[in-house]
Structure 1
Amino acid sequence: MSETIQVQMLGEFTIRYGDCVISDSNDRSHRVWSLLAYLLVNRRREFTQEELINLCWSGGTGSSDPANALKSVFHRIRALLDRLEDGLGHRLLLRRSGRYVWNEEVPITLDIEQFEERCRRGDREKEPEARLRAYQAAVGCYRGDLLPRLSGEIWVMPLETYYHGLYAGAVSSAIEILEDCGRTEELAALCRQAVKIEPYKEEFYEHLMCALIENGDNREAMAVYDDMSEMLFSDFGVMPGETLRKLYRQASRTVNDHTLSMDELRMQLQEENSAGGAMLCEYDFFKILYRMQARAVARMGIAVHICLLSVTAKDGSALARRSLDGVMEKLPPLLRGNLRRGDVISRCSVSQFVIMLPQANYENSCMVAERLTGAFYRRYPHSSARLRCMVQPLIPNE
């Protein structure tokens, strides 16, 4: 056998030999692929029957005859490997003195070992350029987290955390070198790749936005912020940190790179969609509008009320996420259609909307809240959701 068996475990689990490839994405034999992965990761060891039975059946539970069941799993593993070449399974997995061993005479490469070696090389190198090359090679090798279809296996979890931590460290080290060298285009490309693997790590978004702003691509920096803030809010009900908000404001201030005429200014300020109904805006902008109204209330004594609309299950408990997402998607057009043009709506948490009702006293605001909940129940009479509205006056800035 002259060719090397190539095993990929980062991002997906595939085994390639020559032109043939097998993958766990095309096979539902979870136990077979789990044991095969375990044998590969630990291939320089010998395995007792008891160890593998404990791995597959938690000490023998779940099988009346675990020894024969293990033999059956090994038969299926060998048959799986035979898809790469006839007889390959029996040449790779051997039985010696009652123990299972992997035939180390067969050349094999694992992407996790190449990835780890490149990370370590980057740590060892002294020259920045050599360190950068090693870290970039490591990052290029990391196509995703370890064995994603086996992520629930107890033995996989600590390894997944370990390799993910190595990846984040390699990216951070490469970012530092690129920033010191002023190579902002490479930095932006690296960060774009990194946020696909680490979609919730704000540090990488900060470096990406800084690089884009440095390159003069302010609109793209704003688009990155918009996409990230929408994702964070949708998944966790939170907004980006203050550093990212400052970068967004910095980018937005420099979008207009020439002096504006009054006509240009008015066109930019004009609402794109002037259809009827209330205004829907992001929560950051809602807070600005709220503070502006709080100043006006203190100065002019006008009546402004805030309505907090919460979505729960009918018994008051949290609604299942899938049902909640469906309700939260349906609410904005329904709210807009049942409110005035001067009212403002914003989603303020995973399960809540806040509504600003200018020039409305407490009684009228409560009537508005009842109208909104009534409209929802009429439109969706079989919904599993319950809508609760709480109305309070806007507190003026003294």
Structure 2
Amino acid sequence: MAEQGLQVRMFGTFSISMDDREINDGDNRSRKVWLLLAYMIYCRSRSISQEELIGLLWNSDERSSNPLNALKTMFHRVRTSLDQLDPSAGHTLIIRRDGNYAWNPDIPFFFDVEEFDRLCRAGAASSKKERRLEIYLKALALYNGDFLQKLSSETWVVPISTYFHNLYLQTLLETLSLLEEREQQEKAASLCRKAVEIEPYNELLYQHLMQNLLALREQREVIRVYEEMSQVLFDNFGIMPADESRALYREAVRTVNDRAVSIGMVKEQLRESEGANGAFFCDYDFFKVIYHAEARAIARSGDAVHICLLSVTGQNGQELPKRSLDRCMENLREIIRGSLRRGDVAARCSVSQYILMLPQANYENSRMVCQRIIKAFCRQYPHSPARLYDSVQPLEPNM
């Protein structure tokens, strides 16, 4: 068996390749085949007993009356898979030793996990920033996803995956600082794009991406990234972006017109699409801007404006399952849009709440509007598990 071209990768897709042949965990094979193969490779520094492997592959409820025979069958399947790389690979790479199984220690190979760890340590130990950056970039190029993603629920995988995930983020953030210090925004932005695919809930990574895109004068892309991040954070955690993220977004919006425009063009850009009936829906950030403007206006005019909060819960105030809540909130949005006037403003302010602004409406009228929305929802969705509650307060003028 030719050993020089053997490569094993466990970051993201688990694959084993040799020369131009490859097998990977996207193939239509049993999950247990890949679990056994991954365990043999990662623990290749020692022989592994049959009892340990049986415990790895089957819990007490799954075990057959002849677990040793079942294990032999599983190894036959593993060897058959390895033989796709080379006709002798199965029996060359996995050997028997004193009744135990082992990965052949005499066959050298490239292993992305070990190389990533080695490079991160070497980079951290380097006293020269240029050399450290060079090494870190090589390390980050190897990290194409978390350790053994398709086996992430396995007990032995969890701590290893967590260690390398944290090492990746630590190395990435230091690398971004080094790149930004050298004004290499294009490289930094490329690393950030890859990072937010691996870690889609880390707002700091989005902030680095937006900062670098702003430096590259890609304002429209900043806006797109911010909107995508906002949706991810809201859908999964019911939270809004931090002040730092909103500041970057406002900077992009402010400078999105990169040349002077006429007042006619500005009016055209501001024009609302035709046929937009009912309440004006906007993001919560923009709702706050409208709120502040309205608070200033009523300090001068004395008009009545009320704020209404519509909250969705399950029976007895319990939380609804996410799928049911999302469906209820989408249905409620359409009810609100059709029930309010064109001058009214609405926004989703939490995962289970809408905030409404009703200009020129007193307290009694505002309560009636809320009750009309609730009744319309109950009438249109009589079997919905949702329960709606309203709260009304006057908008306080900004003096």
- The within-5 A match list for 1:18-167 is 18-27=19-28, 29-57=30-58, 60=60, 62-63=62-63, 64-167=65-168
In structure 2, the residue corresponding to 1:123 is in which secondary structure? helix
Corresponding position of 2:2? 2
Deviation for aligned residue 1:156: 0.4
In structure 2, the residue corresponding to 1:26 is in which secondary structure? coil
Corresponding position of 1:231? 232
C-alpha distance in 2, partners of 1:390/1:183?
Answer: 51
C-alpha distance in 1, partners of 2:308/2:66?
Answer: 63
C-alpha distance in 1, partners of 2:324/2:87?
Answer: 50
Corresponding position of 1:241? 242
Give the aligned residue type for 1:235.
Answer: N
C-alpha distance in 1, partners of 2:111/2:340?
Answer: 60
C-alpha distance in 2, partners of 1:19/1:257?
Answer: 49
User: Against the structure 1 CA distance between its residues 24 and 256, is the aligned structure 2 distance closer, same or farther, given a 3 Å change threshold?
Assistant: closer
The one-character-per-residue Cα deviations of 1:349-398 (angstroms, maximum 9, x if unpaired) are 11221111111222222222222223323333443333333333334445
Deviation for aligned residue 1:72: 3.2
Q: Which runs of 5+ in 1 are unaligned?
A: none
C-alpha distance in 1, partners of 2:378/2:18?
Answer: 60
C-alpha distance in 1, partners of 2:134/2:274?
Answer: 49
- The within-5 A match list for 1:257-336 is 257-273=258-274, 275-336=276-337
C-alpha distance in 1, partners of 2:331/2:147?
Answer: 37
In structure 2, the residue corresponding to 1:21 is in which secondary structure? strand
The one-character-per-residue Cα deviations of 1:222-257 (angstroms, maximum 9, x if unpaired) are 222222122212221111111122222222222334
C-alpha distance in 2, partners of 1:395/1:71?
Answer: 76
Deviation for aligned residue 1:46: 1.3
C-alpha distance in 1, partners of 2:393/2:29?
Answer: 55
Aligned pair count reads 397
TM-score (normalised: structure 1): 0.91
Deviation for aligned residue 1:345: 0.8
* Counterpart check, 1:192 vs 2:181: no
Give the aligned residue type for 1:54.
Answer: G
Deviation for aligned residue 1:175: 0.9
Greater displacement, 295-304 / 161-170: 295-304
In structure 1, the residue corresponding to 2:2 is in which secondary structure? coil
Give the aligned residue type for 1:353.
Answer: Y
Deviation for aligned residue 1:298: 4.2
User: What is the aligned-residue identity percentage?
Assistant: 50
Corresponding position of 1:205? 206
Q: Which runs of 5+ in 2 are unaligned?
A: none
The one-character-per-residue Cα deviations of 1:303-325 (angstroms, maximum 9, x if unpaired) are 22222222233443222112222
Deviation for aligned residue 1:341: 0.4
Give the aligned residue type for 1:228.
Answer: M
In structure 1, the residue corresponding to 2:306 is in which secondary structure? strand
User: Against the structure 1 CA distance between its residues 347 and 28, is the aligned structure 2 distance closer, same or farther, given a 3 Å change threshold?
Assistant: farther
Greater displacement, 156-165 / 271-280: 271-280
C-alpha distance in 1, partners of 2:112/2:100?
Answer: 26
Give the aligned residue type for 1:92.
Answer: L
Deviation for aligned residue 1:274: 5.4
Deviation for aligned residue 1:61: 5.5
C-alpha distance in 2, partners of 1:215/1:245?
Answer: 18
C-alpha distance in 2, partners of 1:220/1:11?
Answer: 27
The one-character-per-residue Cα deviations of 1:172-225 (angstroms, maximum 9, x if unpaired) are 122111112112222222222222222222222222222222222223222222
Deviation for aligned residue 1:258: 4.2
Deviation for aligned residue 1:28: 5.2
Give the aligned residue type for 1:229.
Answer: S
C-alpha distance in 2, partners of 1:186/1:87?
Answer: 43
C-alpha distance in 1, partners of 2:150/2:237?
Answer: 24
Give the aligned residue type for 2:207.
Answer: E
Corresponding position of 1:177? 178
Greater displacement, 156-165 / 133-142: 133-142
TM-score (normalised: structure 2): 0.91
C-alpha distance in 1, partners of 2:378/2:165?
Answer: 46
In structure 1, the residue corresponding to 2:346 is in which secondary structure? strand
